[in-house]
Structure 1
Amino acid sequence: MKIFSLTTTLLLVLNFLLYCNASLINFSSIKNFINKGIETITSPIKSFLNEKEDENRDSKNYHNELDIERDIIFNKDRTLDIYYDKIDIITKSKLKPVNIFVFGGSWYSGSKVKFTKFGSLLEKNDYVAVLPNYVLFPQGGFEDMVDDIYNAIQWTHKNIKKYGGDPNRISISAYSAGAHLTALAIFKSLLGYPNKNKILKPLPMLEKVVLLNGPYDFDDYYEINNYFGKESENSIVENLAKVVFRSKNVSPTDLLKPYAMKSLKSLGAKKFVFFYTSLDKQVKESSAQNLIKQMKRICPNVNINYVYKEGYEHTTLTRGIRAGSAEEENVFINLVNL
């Protein structure tokens, strides 16, 4: 296991900038940051055994799943899995609603195998579930990740009917980095922003988009610019993210800002659900609030539900579902059905 990787170094830099946002820069905060940095570097060692245990459990769950079609190629060599009732598809003619789950992992980790419990949970609740993989950093930047998610949605719309799914009732649920990338994919294709030097065609109208603990605007950390006496539309964190992740557009909120008030009749989905938790120390609540504000500004009729959960940390929901916790499973399904 490589502790001092390029990813670790870059995340430490971003971590420093985000940490400085929370307090004035002084000797005490620098000392605290150093301690935090040491913890960031050593925590992979401390959690390695627990994570390996979790991975072994996820892998076992994945390979024991029966109602699944594995490793379907959808974008060059990228693959996705489909969870569906194989008996149901033979005996019933009625098509089921579809949910695409996009995992998170700080843009550099995660896989469809790790989140297999989301697929099986959705299938047990009468959905056809689609779990795609997408390229991770540093092999790909934001535009490569968006390209995978965009193509996974298009592939699902074109092909899901043969798995018993209704192509006219496709929803998306996405967590953390996956929520950020999903918002980018939806708004880029809706508003005609280029991705990988080409304009994306509009996606089919989505039934619902459930965004869980996602970061939507790196400009939330603008206080750092104020400390250094710089005035800029984009914060230091956002400019760094553009370089690190090789993309001109990194914040979904920024994609909406150029548009006039009440200029759009739709934002690509019939309903949006935002989920945030009280003990989340990784993503600021204002990130979702700022995006919602822009969405309502340019599309006043947009249907948005905001759900705030007390007592949950950033990973409580996903870790609970991966471990088979009934409480977190119920929270997630209620959000999907909202």
Structure 2
Amino acid sequence: MGSDLGRRATAGSGAGTDSSAAGDSDLERPFLWWGSSGSLRRRGSGDLPFKPPPRRQSFRQEMGHAAAETYLITRLTIILLQYLGVGYRWISRFLALGFYAVLLMPGFIQVGYYYFFSKHVRRSVIYGEQPRNRLDLYLPLDTSTPKPVVAFVTGGAWIIGYKAWGALLGKRLAERDVIVACIDYRNFPQGTISDMIKDASQGISYICNNVASYGGDPNRIHLMGQSAGAHIAACVLLDQAVKQSKGEKTTWSLSQIKTYFGLSGGYNLLKLVDHFHNRGLYRRIFLSIMEGEESLQLFSPELTARDKSVEPAISYLPQIILFHGTGDYSIPSIASEDFANALKSAGAQARLVLYEGKTHTDLFLQDPLRGGRDELLEDIISVIHAGDAVALAKHATAPQARRLVPEWQLKLAHEISPF
């Protein structure tokens, strides 16, 4: 792991078909390919690297998909407002959110253009039968050799999560020869936490079993989640470890997951329920999402890690790295500190990386939009490409990302961010 990461770390040893899916039917079956004899074959791990077919959608189809995505985002926002009801906390934050979004709009427009029109983005690949069982793939320019993969679970307060929220991360990592798969999942009220965990696990399974068809290395997969997505991914990770320790049959293996990156996550719901209530995610809504107060312990990864009966499962976990900003008021950094301590006490290989003064959105939005050297990206890349001298050298000499939003707007966004 890079020296910068070491200096900042605390020492210590996861329905229906939309327009894009319909237009990209050849991408819905990436595990099939045409053999030399002309027959349709199932791709094996020993086959030659596969280069995904180019996109063939027309401008009208692209615009239609963009309209559908915009409609979905608008509908999610309306649903959120309906559940929050009338209250000064969320109203003040909603107004701050509007101003915040306006300040970052120059960057959002540029990333949105990349998301909708880049030939290196495969949108809405179907991974399951439920609504929202879709994922987006961000592919590097070079697909000549198998690439490491990041399976990313987006945040969104368990209510407005959406796969496109990972577009900026996907773009940045794809520029560094990493394939990124952003997993969508059912939000509340479309589903509760059990459904979200099930969807995320199914999306990870799809990636583990099919990413080779997109040029990915199925044995170099890293799981990452942000905010609510970090919580969901951690629940999946521990649930999978317990299943494997009991010898249960599963569709994917933790041996394929090299690292779990948890970004700004909350892992002990018993400690967070009152905090969320005071910030506008009211207790009655939160308990509905988490299937009742009696389930808060069940869906708290920190408490699961402290459970002595789960100790046999801990050895199945990959290395775990938790990132958090000390200026995060949405989910205080103590949440990651406590989870890291619980994991280390249980014998897991866990590491905590704190970023001084960073808020809930600085690491994920403002810093990447700033361009130049991105501290979080550097830390992630140092882990993903560890041991690959060629990849690290290529990363070191790569041009730095350009600025997408003026500095004064980013600084003001930092100050008024409702997160």
Give the alignment's TM-score, normalised by structure 2: 0.61
Q: What's the CA shift for 1:187?
A: 0.8
Q: 1:141 aligns with which of 192, 198, 202?
A: 192
Given the alignment, which residue of 156, 177, 182 partners 2:233?
Answer: 182
Letter aligned with residue 159 of structure 2: Y
| Cα deviation, residue 254, structure 1 | 2.5
The residue type paired with residue 204 of structure 1 is: L
Question: Alpha-carbon deviations, 1:288-310, whole Å to 9, x = none?
Answer: 12222222222x2x222211111
1:154 corresponds in structure 2 to 205
CA drift of 1:74 comes to 0.2
Q: For the structure 1 residues 7 and 97, does the alpha-carbon distance in structure 2 shift closer, same or farther, using more than 3 Å as the test?
A: same
Identify which of 127, 130, 134 aligns with 1:74.
127
For 2:361 and 2:251, locate their aligned partners in 1 and report how far apart those are by CA, in whole Å: 33
Distance 1:327-1:311 versus aligned 2 partners, 3 A rule: farther
Give the direction of change, closer, same or farther, for the CA distance of 1:63–1:261 in structure 2 (3 Å limit).
Answer: closer
1:232 equivalent in structure 2: none
Structure 2 equivalent of residue 295 of structure 1 = 343
| Pair 1:9–1:72, CA change in 2 (3 A) | closer
TM-score, length-scaled by structure 1: 0.74
Q: Deviations over 1:190-236 (max 9, x none)?
A: 2249xxxx996663321011111001112225889xxxxxxxxxxxx
The one-letter code of the counterpart of 1:258 is: D
Equivalent positions of 1:188-337 (< 5 A) are 188-192=239-243, 203-205=253-255, 206-221=257-272, 241-246=286-291, 248=295, 249-260=298-309, 263-264=312-313, 266-269=315-318, 271-298=319-346, 300=347, 302-320=348-366, 323=369, 325-328=371-374, 330-337=375-382
2:367 and 2:150 map into 1 onto residues whose CA distance is 16
Letter in 1 for 2:351: N
| Pairwise CA distance, 1:133 | 1.3
Unaligned runs of 5+ in 1: 14-33, 225-236
After superposition, the C-alpha distances for 1:227-267 in whole angstroms (9 at most, x for unaligned) are: xxxxxxxxxx9897343332633311222333259644514
Map residues 48-63 of structure 1 onto 2, 5 A cutoff: 49-50=102-103, 55-63=108-116
Indicate conservation of the 8 Å contact 1:100/1:172, yes or no: yes
In the alignment, which of 99, 120, 132 is matched to residue 150 of structure 2?
99
Of the two structures, which has the highest relative contact order with CA contacts closer than 8 Å and spacing of 6 or more? 2
Out of 147, 163, 173, the position equivalent to 2:214 is: 163
User: 1-side partners of 2:211 and 2:82: how far apart?
Assistant: 41
Change (3 A) 1:324 1:132: farther
Change (3 A) 1:185 1:222: closer
Distance 1:306 1:183, change over 3 A: same
The Cα shift of 1:275 comes to: 0.7
Distance 1:2 1:62, change over 3 A: closer
Equivalent in the alignment of 1:234:
none
Q: Secondary structure at the match of 1:114?
A: helix
How many residues get paired?
A: 294
1:318 deviates by: 1.5
Distance 2:190 2:128 in 1: 15
* 1:4 and 1:41 in contact (8 A); partners too: no
| Cα distance in 1, alignment partners of residues 78 and 119 from structure 2 | 37
Partner of 1:30: none
Q: Is the 1:317–1:332 Cα contact (8 Å) retained in structure 2?
A: no
Amino acid at match of 1:111: Y
Checking the alignment, whether the CA contact within 8 Å between 2:221 and 2:259 is kept in structure 1 is yes
AA partner of residue 209 (structure 2): K
Residues 1:144 and 1:51: Cα distance change in structure 2 (over 3 Å): farther
Whether the aligned pair in 2 keeps the contact of 1:173 and 1:336 (CA below 8 Å) is no
CA contact (8 A) 1:58 1:113 kept: no
Q: Is the contact made by 2:125 and 2:135 (CA closer than 8 Å) also made in structure 1?
A: yes
Label 1:7 to 1:265 Cα distance change in 2 as closer, same or farther (>3 A). closer
Paired with 1:293 and 1:183, the residues of 2 have a C-alpha distance of: 15
Assess, with a 3 A threshold, how the Cα gap between structure 1 residues 45 and 97 changes in structure 2: closer, same or farther: closer
Q: Secondary structure at the residue paired with 2:339?
A: helix
Structure 1 letter corresponding to 2:317: G
Q: RMSD in angstroms over aligned alpha carbons?
A: 3.4
Q: Distance in 1 between matches of 2:286 and 2:312?
A: 29
Secondary structure of the residue aligned to 1:117 is helix
Structure 2 regions of 5+ residues with no counterpart?
A: 1-73, 276-281, 384-419
Matched letter for residue 342 of structure 2? Q
User: 2:311 and 2:189 mapped to 1: Cα distance?
Assistant: 38
